[in-house]
Amino acid sequence: MSWNIWLAIAAINGLVSVAAGAFGAHGLKKVLEPADLTTFEVAARYQMYHVFALIAVAWLVSRDIPGPTNAAGWCFLVGIMIFCGTVYAIPLTGIKVLGAITPIGGVLLMIGWLCLAIAGFKAAT
């Protein structure tokens, strides 16, 4: 995928993360229990962390770095959707069984970081 698409995906995730953080801090403060609010905030924080990873993917793709750069991007994107999506949804819906699939997203995020590291090492050689 082209670098500008990865950059746009990063920006959209940044927007969603900021909006979710504001929604949690202001809209959900009186609705959720403190533990559930903390869980919701974790999702916003992890989503924002991975915005920077997606920006790194965009940068590496823009430099035509060989290796698993696009794979890293896909792992980050799907990992955000599964991990952050379920962590957002659990406190909002009370459906705790969603926690069973949350680790799949976490593993994808870790694989994304591994792919990004491999791409970075390839860029250095």
* Cβ(53)–Cβ(71) below 8 Å: no
In this predicted structure, what is the pLDDT of residue 118? 94
Alpha carbons 82 and 67: distance in angstroms, whole number = 24
Which pLDDT tens digit goes with each residue over 16-29? 999 999 999 999 99
The two tokens of residue 26 are 């202001």
pTM to 2 decimals? Answer: 0.94
In this predicted structure, what is the pLDDT of residue 125? 76
Determine the angle formed by the axes of helices 3-22 and 34-62, rounding to 10 degrees. Answer: 160
In this predicted structure, what is the pLDDT of residue 114? 98
Please give the single-letter amino acid code of residue 38: T
Residues of the chain where predicted confidence (pLDDT) is lower than 50: none
Task: List the domain boundaries for the chain.
Answer: 3-120
